[in-house]
């Protein structure tokens, strides 16, 4: 019976995305020097898994390309090759190439082999370059102390195998593993029983032993390939701590030097015996390295795929959902029973039942919403690489700090906020952080800091992008604004309004346009995109000290808190977040500018009035202003007063896309179905105010 | 009938299988022997299948017995058991010649 593997391909690709994230973050950690030795093992394992999976699904380009990466990583983890910046950079580029290959595999299109071949050549170039390892063996080879190659030196493998407690319960058996190892060469096994508890305290199904194994090459089988050993441990690699290190001959060994006529394999055996103690001594650091593995594995597993059409949901969230549905069914059953035999005596019980139903529905709604919530780390994880690449390109020294990575927000919001975030971080890199010389001259640390901070506040998620760079130049911004005719020279703008100018279309203070930023075609788009998500972005800055962009986003796009308002026979919904206050109109406060535009004096400021019935061409209940109510809203940086016949209730509404079901309409962000089955339009304040400006009032106030 | 082919006081004759599926049963019997006996005799002639859990249980038995100064001797030992113990680096710990 053949198995259709194609059904698992999507899973492989998703897992490979995670593997690539592990690869990338590991390589960046190695590059910054913050990683411990175990990071290279995690990086190697990620490449190894991708290669294995790609081979299974006949993705030969991916398997072949990853094989070369794996070879390079193998040399690095064995200490045969120094971890150089050059190698890391080529490996990072290789990760990009692998992502492209994965995308091609996902879309079932042939990959662009030009770039693949180019980067493959770079990888091979690094592989063929002289190794610069600091280990004694490699140095001796380099110095030409003898003519033997690294393979000739290899006498076998030293394997440290420490099963996790639960390993035996997974159906894996150590005896089987040792039998298979013994089929590769001469096995010498030493069991460590020190972790065995007292007999009465042991659980016979848990594993307590660990082993140090010498697998020596023999004449009949020749040198053992490391991959063959790894294959034996493949099924238990997540259930044990494992290190496989080469057992090497000491090239300074007198015995080895005096036995030139002995066949190589025998030489190995002799020398290994002569240096047995040395080999055992070498075990200590390996064991130390192995201890760090679980943490690494945990951090690797923490990263889950966010992109694409699927979502991984924690079982706790599913359990909560199932509980809620259970409660709902019970309530429904209770109400149904009541309905079968209803009398007015049961009216109180009916009320209670309906209240229970409402609670259940709300809890169910919240549980369902939580399923779509993902930690913002999915969005943040791209930034270490971005900062690494751009800081190299700009010769700047930048440290990236990320805070609140586990803060959750809706998957759709997260996908849409990615690009604006990238833009803001690139801006901080390019314009915010100064070059090291300038920073030193300003008495700052030469390493600049960019901090990404996410947290919940009210029903919103706040994301701050701060840098300790030069800050925004207030005078320069004002000068540019005057040059562009955005403000007059006489105008006395408050500081926040001046800084807000950076969000104006086509506004840039960059002296030179770079390929990173500075064309002035970004910040307005950033604000626009964020506003489309129902959020906002503000900037605070201090010249010479740094800049902070603060993004405020709704947690979800699926539901909003709205104020229902009535105009004629129509009901509209104004997002609560846009409403500043609602008030009765005092006609004395109304003025007309230039004979057409109406404004309302609210305390010390004048706000334009928007007659909703004019904008949407509906028959109003009244046109008399004193009979109307005024809802003061904020949108697109300004306030406005919206005239409505009446204020109805406030409630959470489920947003239905008008664009998907009908077409995009300016001033309307969506629609919802109310409790009585009627459809109500949800107003988009920015669009509505723009639309209102285009419409002259049909009549003046009465 | 007991899960063991034959159990006499202080003596265990193993069945053909000493693996994780039998480990809990043998564990109980070993615990009993360690509490009651001063000498224990094991007969592993029939063992045809032994796994890591089985060997570990034997190793734990020998370790505890040594601590409690209980003497354990093998009456017989199958080739399978010998080979598995050797591969697992436990020949010495299990006192298998």
In this structure, the number of other CB atoms found within 10 A of the CB of residue A466 comes to 20
In this structure, the number of other CB atoms found within 10 A of the CB of residue A300 comes to 19
Crossing angle of helices A383-393 and A85-107, in 10° steps, is 130
Crossing angle of helices A38-56 and A60-77, in 10° steps, is 160
Note whether B57 contacts A: Cβ–Cβ < 8 A. yes
Q: Cα–Cα distances in Å, from A413 out to A375, A410, A418, A460, A665?
A: 12, 5, 9, 11, 21
Q: Do B87 and A179 touch (CB under 8 A)?
A: yes
Q: What whole-number percentage of chain A has pLDDT above 90?
A: 14
Of A169, A196, A200, the CB nearest to B59: A196
Crossing angle of helices B52-67 and B20-36, in 10° steps, is 10
Of B23, B64, B87, the CB nearest to A198: B64
pLDDT, tens digit, for every residue of A15-30?
888 888 888 888 888 8
Domain over A6-133 is classified CATH 1.20.120.160: yes
pLDDT band at A343 (very low <50, low <70, confident <90, very high): confident
Q: Cα angle at A421 between A468 and A97, to 5 degrees?
A: 110
Which of A521, A648, A503, A467 lies closest to A574 in space, CA to CA? Answer: A648
Average pLDDT, stretch A528-537?
Answer: 82
Task: Classify strands A638-644 and A605-611 as parallel, antiparallel or unpaired.
Answer: parallel
DSSP run (H or E) holding A523:
helix A523-532
Number of domains within chain B: 1
Which of A51, A55, A45, A47 lies closest to A5 in space, CA to CA? Answer: A55
Which of A701, A438, A393, A411 lies closest to A558 in space, CA to CA? Answer: A411
pLDDT, tens digit, for every residue of B39-53?
899 999 999 999 999
pLDDT band at A467 (very low <50, low <70, confident <90, very high): very high
Q: Do B89 and A189 touch (CB under 8 A)?
A: yes
- Measure the CA–CA gap between A480 and A474, rounded to whole angstroms: 10
Task: Classify strands A679-683 and A668-673 as parallel, antiparallel or unpaired.
Answer: antiparallel
Query: Chain A 159-198, CB below 8 Å of chain B: which residues?
Result: 168-169, 173-176, 178-179, 182, 187-191, 193, 196, 198
Chain mean position to CA A274: 52
C-alpha torsion B3→B4→B10→B13, nearest 10 = -170
- Measure the CA–CA gap between B15 and B3, rounded to whole angstroms: 8
Measured in angstroms, the CA of B57 and the nearest CA of chain A are apart by: 6
CB A629 within 8 A of CB A583: yes
pLDDT, tens digit, for every residue of A58-105?
788 888 888 888 888 888 887 778 888 888 888 999 999 999 898 888
Q: Tell me, yes or no, whether B34 lies in a domain.
A: yes
Task: Classify strands A646-654 and A559-567 as parallel, antiparallel or unpaired.
Answer: antiparallel
Of A175, A188, A199, the CB nearest to B64: A199
CB B74 within 8 A of CB B44: yes
More confident residue, A378 or A548: A548
Chain mean position to CA A208: 38
Dihedral sign of CA atoms A685, A690, A696, A701 in order: positive
Q: Cα–Cα distances in Å, from A508 out to A24, A489, A494?
A: 33, 19, 19
Task: List, as one string, the DSSP characters of A573-626.
Answer: EEEGGGEEEEEE--GGGEEEETTTEEEEEETTEEEEEEEHHHHHT---S---GG
3-state DSSP call for residue A21? helix
Average pLDDT, stretch A576-591?
Answer: 87
Q: Cα angle at A611 between A606 and A616, to 5 degrees?
A: 145
- pLDDT(A694) > 60: yes
Q: Do A205 and B26 touch (CB under 8 A)?
A: no
Average pLDDT, stretch A326-344?
Answer: 87
- The two three-digit tokens of residue A142, written as one number: 């380099």
Which residues of chain A does B93 touch, with a Cβ-Cβ cutoff of 8 Å? 191, 193
Average pLDDT, stretch A686-692?
Answer: 83
Which of B60, B51, B52 lies closest to B94 in space, CA to CA? Answer: B60
pLDDT, tens digit, for every residue of A190-205?
898 888 888 888 899 8
- The two three-digit tokens of residue A406, written as one number: 């586990």
- Measure the CA–CA gap between A671 and A186, rounded to whole angstroms: 74
Tell me whether domains A6-133 and A559-694 share a fold.
no
The domain ranges of chain A are 6-133, 138-293, 315-371, 377-554, 559-694
The pLDDT of residue A280 is 34
CATH number of the domain where residue B45 is located = 3.30.750.24
Dihedral sign of CA atoms A167, A168, A171, A176 in order: positive
Q: Do B23 and A169 touch (CB under 8 A)?
A: no
Nearest-by-CA chain B residue for A169 = B20
Measured in angstroms, the CA of A253 and the nearest CA of chain B are apart by: 28
Q: Tell me, yes or no, whether B1 lies in a domain.
A: no
pLDDT, tens digit, for every residue of A229-255?
888 888 888 888 888 888 765 433 333
Judging by beta carbons within 10 Å of its beta carbon (0-12, 13-18, 19+), is residue A434 exposed, middle or buried? buried
Judging by beta carbons within 10 Å of its beta carbon (0-12, 13-18, 19+), is residue A527 exposed, middle or buried? buried
3-state DSSP call for residue A658? helix
Residues 6 or more apart in contact with residue A320 via CB below 8 angstroms: A367, A370
Nearest-by-CA chain B residue for A165 = B53
Which residues of chain A does B24 touch, with a Cβ-Cβ cutoff of 8 Å? 204-205
Of B20, B63, B84, the CB nearest to A168: B20
CB A181 within 8 A of CB A215: yes
Note whether B90 contacts A: Cβ–Cβ < 8 A. yes
Mutation for A interface: B3, B53, B66, B86, most A CBs within 10 A: B53
- What do you get for the CA distance between the two ends of chain B, in Å? 32
Q: Do A191 and B90 touch (CB under 8 A)?
A: yes
pLDDT, tens digit, for every residue of A614-651?
888 899 888 888 888 999 998 766 789 999 999 998 88
Query: Chain B 33-52, CB below 8 Å of chain A: which residues?
Result: 34, 50-52
CB A380 within 8 A of CB A402: yes
DSSP run (H or E) holding A383:
helix A383-393
Nearest-by-CA chain B residue for A172 = B52
Of B52, B55, B61, the CB nearest to A199: B61
State the residue range of the domain holding B23. Answer: 6-87
Which residues of chain A does B55 touch, with a Cβ-Cβ cutoff of 8 Å? 174-175
Q: Do B60 and A196 touch (CB under 8 A)?
A: yes
**ipTM attached to this prediction:** 0.92
Of B19, B50, B88, the CB nearest to A189: B88
Chain mean position to CA A580: 34
Q: Do B31 and A207 touch (CB under 8 A)?
A: no
Which of A433, A432, A546, A542 lies closest to A496 in space, CA to CA? Answer: A542
The pLDDT of residue A626 is 82
- The two three-digit tokens of residue A489, written as one number: 């020279």
Measured in angstroms, the CA of A209 and the nearest CA of chain B are apart by: 7
Note whether A356 contacts B: Cβ–Cβ < 8 A. no
3-state DSSP call for residue A297? helix
- The two three-digit tokens of residue A160, written as one number: 């440290």
pLDDT band at A456 (very low <50, low <70, confident <90, very high): confident
- Measure the CA–CA gap between A242 and A157, rounded to whole angstroms: 12
DSSP A662: S
- pLDDT(A143) > 60: no
CB A200 within 8 A of CB B61: no
CATH of the domain spanning A377-554:
3.30.565.10
Note whether A209 contacts B: Cβ–Cβ < 8 A. yes
DSSP run (H or E) holding A181:
helix A174-182
pLDDT band at A480 (very low <50, low <70, confident <90, very high): confident
- Tokens 């972790």, residue located: A195
Q: Tell me, yes or no, whether B15 lies in a domain.
A: yes
Which residues of chain B does A198 touch, with a Cβ-Cβ cutoff of 8 Å? 64
Measured in angstroms, the CA of A558 and the nearest CA of chain B are apart by: 52
Q: What are phi and psi of A616, to 5 degrees?
A: -100, 5
The pLDDT of residue A213 is 92
- Tokens 């294959």, residue located: A231
Of A169, A190, A208, the CB nearest to B56: A208
- pLDDT(A566) > 90: yes
Residues A361-381: b if buried by 16+ CB within 10 A, e if exposed: eebbeebbebebbbbbbbbbb
Note whether B24 contacts A: Cβ–Cβ < 8 A. yes
Task: List, as one string, the DSSP characters of A329-349.
Answer: HHHHHHHHHHHHT--GGGHHH
User: Rounded to two decimals, what is the model's pTM?
Assistant: 0.50
Crossing angle of helices B79-87 and A174-182, in 10° steps, is 80
Measured in angstroms, the CA of B73 and the nearest CA of chain A are apart by: 18
- pLDDT(B56) > 70: yes
Q: Do B59 and A168 touch (CB under 8 A)?
A: no
The pLDDT of residue A473 is 86
- Measure the CA–CA gap between A412 and A693, rounded to whole angstroms: 32
Q: Cα–Cα distances in Å, from B67 out to A82, A222, B61, B63?
A: 49, 44, 10, 6
> Which CATH superfamily includes the segment(s) A559-694?
CheA-289, Domain 4 (2.40.50.180)
Nearest-by-CA chain A residue for B50 = A175
Mutation for B interface: A209, A232, A233, most B CBs within 10 A: A209
DSSP bridge partners of A606: A601
Which of A602, A597, A588 lies closest to A634 in space, CA to CA? Answer: A602
- pLDDT(A310) > 90: no
Average pLDDT, stretch A402-423?
Answer: 87
- Measure the CA–CA gap between B58 and A120, rounded to whole angstroms: 53
Which residues of chain B does A207 touch, with a Cβ-Cβ cutoff of 8 Å? 52-53, 56
CB A21 within 8 A of CB A301: no
- The two three-digit tokens of residue A649, written as one number: 């209730």
Average pLDDT, stretch A383-401?
Answer: 88
DSSP bridge partners of A493: none
């Amino acid at each position: 019976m053949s198995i259709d593997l194609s059904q698992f391909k999507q899973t492989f690709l998703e897992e490979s995305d995670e593997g690539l994230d592990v690869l990338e973050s590991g390589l960046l950690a190695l590059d910054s020097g913050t990683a411990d030795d175990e990071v290279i093992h995690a990086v190697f394992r990620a490449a190894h898994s991708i290669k294995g999976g790609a081979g299974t699904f006949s993705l030969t380009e991916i398997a072949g390309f990853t094989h070369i990466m794996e070879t390079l990583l193998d040399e690095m983890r064995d200490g045969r090759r120094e971890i150089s910046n050059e190698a890391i950079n080529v490996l990072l580029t290789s990760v990009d190439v692998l992502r492209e290959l994965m995308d091609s595999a996902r879309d079932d299109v042939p990959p662009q082999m030009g770039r693949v071949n180019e980067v493959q050549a770079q990888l091979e170039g690094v592989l063929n370059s002289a190794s610069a390892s600091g280990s004694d063996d490699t140095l001796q080879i380099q110095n030409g102390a003898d003519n033997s190659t690294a393979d000739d030196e290899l006498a076998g493998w030293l394997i440290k195998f420490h099963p996790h407690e639960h390993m035996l319960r997974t159906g894996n058996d150590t005896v089987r593993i040792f039998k298979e190892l013994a089929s590769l060469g001469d096995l010498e096994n030493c069991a460590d029983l020190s972790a065995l508890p007292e007999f009465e305290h042991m659980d016979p199904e848990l594993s307590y032993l660990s082993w140090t194994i010498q697998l020596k090459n023999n004449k009949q089988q020749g040198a053992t390939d490391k991959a063959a050993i790894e294959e034996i441990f493949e099924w238990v690699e997540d259930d044990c701590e494992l290190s496989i290190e080469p057992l090497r001959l000491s090239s300074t060994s007198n015995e080895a030097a005096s036995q030139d006529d002995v066949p190589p394999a025998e030489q190995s055996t002799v020398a290994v015996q002569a240096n047995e103690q040395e080999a055992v001594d070498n075990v200590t650091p390996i064991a130390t390295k192995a201890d760090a593995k679980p943490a690494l594995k945990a951090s690797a597993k923490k990263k889950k795929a966010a992109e694409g059409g699927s979502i991984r949901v924690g079982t706790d969230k599913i359990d909560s959902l199932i509980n809620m549905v259970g409660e709902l069914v019970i309530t429904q059953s209770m109400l149904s029973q009541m309905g079968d035999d209803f009398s007015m005596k049961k009216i109180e019980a009916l009320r209670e039942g309906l209240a229970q139903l409402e609670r259940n529905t709300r809890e169910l709604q919240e549980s369902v919403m939580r399923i779509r919530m993902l930690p913002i780390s999915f969005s943040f994880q791209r930034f270490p690489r971005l900062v690494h690449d751009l800081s190299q390109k700009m010769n700047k020294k930048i440290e990236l700090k990320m805070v609140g990575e586990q803060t959750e927000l809706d998957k759709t919001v997260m996908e849409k906020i990615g690009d604006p975030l990238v833009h803001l971080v690139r801006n901080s890199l390019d314009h915010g952080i100064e070059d090291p010389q300038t920073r030193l001259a300003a008495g700052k640390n030469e390493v600049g800091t960019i901090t990404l901070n996410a947290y919940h506040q009210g029903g919103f998620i706040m994301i701050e992008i701060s840098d300790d760079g030069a800050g925004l130049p207030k005078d320069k911004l004002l000068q540019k604004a005057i040059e562009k005719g955005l403000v007059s020279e006489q105008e006395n703008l408050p500081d926040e309004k001046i800084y807000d100018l950076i969000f104006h279309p086509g506004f840039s203070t960059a002296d030179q346009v770079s390929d990173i930023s500075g064309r002035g075609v970004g910040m307005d788009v950033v604000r626009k995109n964020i506003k489309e998500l129902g959020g906002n972005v503000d900037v605070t800055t201090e010249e010479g000290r740094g800049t902070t962009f603060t993004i405020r986003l709704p947690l979800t796009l699926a539901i909003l808190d709205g104020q229902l308002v009535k105009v004629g026979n129509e009901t509209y919904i104004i997002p609560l977040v846009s409403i500043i206050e609602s008030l009765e109109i005092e006609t004395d406060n109304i003025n007309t500018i230039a004979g057409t535009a109406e404004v309302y004096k609210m305390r010390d400021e004048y706000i334009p009035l928007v007659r909703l019935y004019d904008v949407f061409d509906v028959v109003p209940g009244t046109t008399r202003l004193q009979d109307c109510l005024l809802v003061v809203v904020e949108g697109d940086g300004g306030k406005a007063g919206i005239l409505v016949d009446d204020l109805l209730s406030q409630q959470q509404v489920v947003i239905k896309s008008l664009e998907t079901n009908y077409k995009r309409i300016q001033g309307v962000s969506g629609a919802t179905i109310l409790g009585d089955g009627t459809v109500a339009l949800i107003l988009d304040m920015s669009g509505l105010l723009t639309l209102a400006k285009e419409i002259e009032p049909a009549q003046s106030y009465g | 009938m007991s899960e063991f082919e034959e159990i006499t006081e202080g003596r265990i004759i193993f069945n053909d299988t000493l693996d994780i599926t039998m480990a809990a049963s043998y564990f109980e019997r070993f615990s009993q022997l360690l509490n009651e006996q001063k000498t224990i005799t094991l007969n592993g002639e029939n063992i045809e299948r032994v796994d890591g859990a089985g060997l570990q249980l034997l190793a734990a038995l020998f370790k505890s017995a040594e601590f409690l100064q209980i003497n354990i001797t093998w009456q017989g030992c199958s080739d399978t058991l010998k080979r598995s113990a050797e591969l697992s680096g436990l020949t010495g710990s299990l006192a298998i010649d």
